[in-house]
Structures are given as structure tokens and as C-alpha cells.
């Protein structure tokens, strides 16, 4: 996202502070992405709809408190959505779930040999189950939501260096355990 | 850092499917309702605080008035008893000479 685009969205948000109807542009733009983001952590359509609605409700409710921090406004939306999901899982006392689209996962992995089939994917999932949750969160935001490190740091309330370290560690683990080559554009 | 539940799914959420849940006017209504609710709650809390302050002022002023009145009564009593004492002492001594 360019600086102009970030500023344009911030201006919309600023306008929405006085006139909530102005927020509709951002709502339409990000609803699907936030919905998918939540769905990947719940795997339940109705629950996702509730949490997504609550997320946008909280965004509008707290719009006056939003301060520009050099990241796209969508990072703030993701942050609120992530908090709502975590709150839900804390409330029901269950571990968070990650529901990943097979097609995206397969796209991320460049097969080095033909042995990497569905069974290998299954083994990969088992391996990922034992990764720390924070590592999975970083991977999800990086590869499924296509967020850069600065945004991920803002969303997860961590430093940028900590986020980078976690991503590289997770990727190293995957590479060494599965001899995988993971598509990585090196975007920062 | 416990184990995570990871699922691999083939189903992808299509924009048409998500569209069913997208309703900005309903969201705006919810926000407006919440704003009204918070305003009402704020007014209610402020009126309760004002009522408590007014009641406290009434109680304090009533207590002060009562205290002042009691002080007046006590002062009056003291003056009366002092005068009575003086009178009595005068009567007592009047058996001989009324000498104060």
C-alpha cells in the first residue's frame, strides 16, 4: 500500500469520526478480508458473522480514539478482529483453531519433488500443530493476509524485530523439517 | 504455547457467501442504538450523582441547623442556670446579708 493510499484511508476514517455514514467505503472494502481472517481462526460461519459484526461495531464505537501510527487503517481493523477472536476463545476456554485453505497452502509451497502430496500436507499440518500459537499467528498474517512486518507488529502489539525473528524461525523450522522451499517475496 | 487445532479445508468463502452477512445500515443502527443507550446511561448516572449531592447538602445543612439550634438551646440553658445559680446564692446569703 502506498503512502497516498494509507493517507486517503485515514482521511476517510477522519471524516467518519464526524459522519459515520462516511465509513461505509472502508466497511465495504474490508468486510470480506476481516470475515476471512476471522473465519480462518474459527471455522464457523455463524460465529464468524457475529465476531465480524462485533469487530466493525467496535471500530465505529472507538473511531474517535484512533490515532494514525503510520500503518494502514486496516491494521487497526485486524487488531480489533484478532482481539475479539482471542476474547472468544478465552471465554469458551478452548485453544484457538486455524482453518487454512488447502489451495493457498499448496500455492505457498513450491514443490521440490513429486513426493510432496496430500500425505505430506497432512504431516505438515501435524507439525504446525506443535508450533507455538504466536508463530502461527505471524505466519497467518504474513502469508494468508499478506501483511508486512510493520503491520503485523502493530496488529500483534509486538516489535517489528520480534515479528521478523518469529517468522524466520518458523520458516526455518518448516524448511529443515520438510526440506520445503516456501515462496517468500522478501517484502518488508 | 499449547497445541493448536489446525484444519485444512477446501471450501473457500466466496464474496457472494460473505455478502449475506454484510449489512452496513444494520451496523449503523446498532451504533446509533448504542450511542443513545450510552447517552441515557450517562444522563441517568449524572442525575443520580446530582441527587446524591443534593441529598448530602440537605442532610449537612439540616445537621448544621440542628447543631446551631442545640447550641442556642444549650447556651440559653447555661445562661438560665447561671442566673438561677446567682439568684440562689443571693437568696442563701440573704439569710444574713446578700453579699455576692
Residue B60 pLDDT > 90, yes or no?
yes
Residue B15 pLDDT > 70, yes or no?
yes
Determine the residue of chain B that is closest to A58 in CA distance.
Answer: B31
What is the tens place of the pLDDT at every residue in A5-58?
Answer: 888 898 998 899 888 889 999 999 999 999 999 999 888 889 999 999 999 999
Q: For residue A180, what pLDDT is reported?
A: 65
What band does B48 get if pLDDT is binned at 50, 70 and 90?
very high
Q: For residue A181, what pLDDT is reported?
A: 63
How far apart are alpha carbons B27 and B33 in whole angstroms? Answer: 10
| ipTM of the shown complex | 0.77
What band does A188 get if pLDDT is binned at 50, 70 and 90?
very low
Please list every residue in chain A whose beta carbon sits closer than 8 Å to the beta carbon of residue B7: 43, 97-100
A121 contacts chain B (CB < 8 A): yes
Mean pLDDT of chain A: 84
Are the C-beta atoms of residues A48 and A39 closer than 8 Å to each other?
yes
Best CA proximity match to A140, nearest among A73, A82, A94, A76: A82
Strand pairing of A181-182 and B5-9?
unpaired
Alpha helices in A1-117 (DSSP H): 3-18, 24-42, 45-61, 73-91, 102-108
What is the tens place of the pLDDT at every residue in A65-103?
Answer: 888 888 899 999 999 999 999 999 999 988 778 888 777
Mutation for A interface: B2, B3, B6, B37, most A CBs within 10 A: B6
Amino acid at each position: 500500500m502506498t503512502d497516498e493510499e494509507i493517507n486517503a484511508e485515514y482521511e476517510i476514517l477522519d471524516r467518519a469520526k464526524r459522519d459515520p455514514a462516511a465509513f461505509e467505503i472502508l466497511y465495504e472494502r474490508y468486510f470480506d478480508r476481516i470475515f476471512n481472517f476471522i473465519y480462518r481462526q474459527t471455522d464457523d460461519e455463524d460465529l464468524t458473522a457475529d465476531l465480524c459484526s462485533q469487530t466493525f461495531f467496535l471500530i465505529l464505537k472507538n473511531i474517535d480514539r484512533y490515532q494514525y501510527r503510520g500503518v494502514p487503517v486496516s491494521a487497526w481493523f485486524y487488531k480489533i478482529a484478532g482481539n475479539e477472536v482471542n476474547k472468544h476463545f478465552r471465554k469458551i476456554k478452548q485453544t484457538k483453531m486455524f482453518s487454512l485453505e488447502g489451495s493457498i497452502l499448496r500455492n505457498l509451497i513450491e514443490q521440490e519433488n513429486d513426493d510432496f502430496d496430500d500425505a505430506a500436507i497432512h504431516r505438515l499440518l501435524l507439525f504446525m500443530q506443535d508450533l507455538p500459537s504466536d508463530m502461527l499467528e505471524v505466519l497467518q498474517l504474513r502469508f494468508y493476509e499478506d501483511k508486512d512486518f510493520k503491520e503485523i507488529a502493530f496488529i500483534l502489539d509486538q516489535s517489528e524485530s520480534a515479528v521478523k525473528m518469529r517468522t524466520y524461525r518458523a520458516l526455518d523450522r518448516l524448511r529443515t523439517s520438510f526440506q520445503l522451499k516456501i515462496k517468500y517475496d522478501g517484502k518488508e | 504455547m499449547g497445541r493448536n487445532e489446525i484444519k485444512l479445508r477446501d471450501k473457500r468463502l466466496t464474496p457472494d457467501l460473505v455478502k449475506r452477512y454484510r449489512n452496513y445500515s444494520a451496523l449503523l443502527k446498532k451504533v446509533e442504538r448504542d450511542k443513545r443507550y450510552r447517552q441515557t446511561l450517562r444522563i441517568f448516572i449524572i442525575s443520580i450523582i446530582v441527587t446524591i449531592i443534593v441529598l448530602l447538602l440537605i442532610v449537612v445543612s439540616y445537621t448544621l441547623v440542628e447543631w446551631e439550634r442545640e447550641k442556642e438551646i444549650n447556651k440559653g440553658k447555661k445562661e438560665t442556670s447561671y442566673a438561677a445559680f446567682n439568684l440562689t446564692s443571693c437568696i442563701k446569703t440573704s439569710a444574713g446579708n446578700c453579699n455576692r
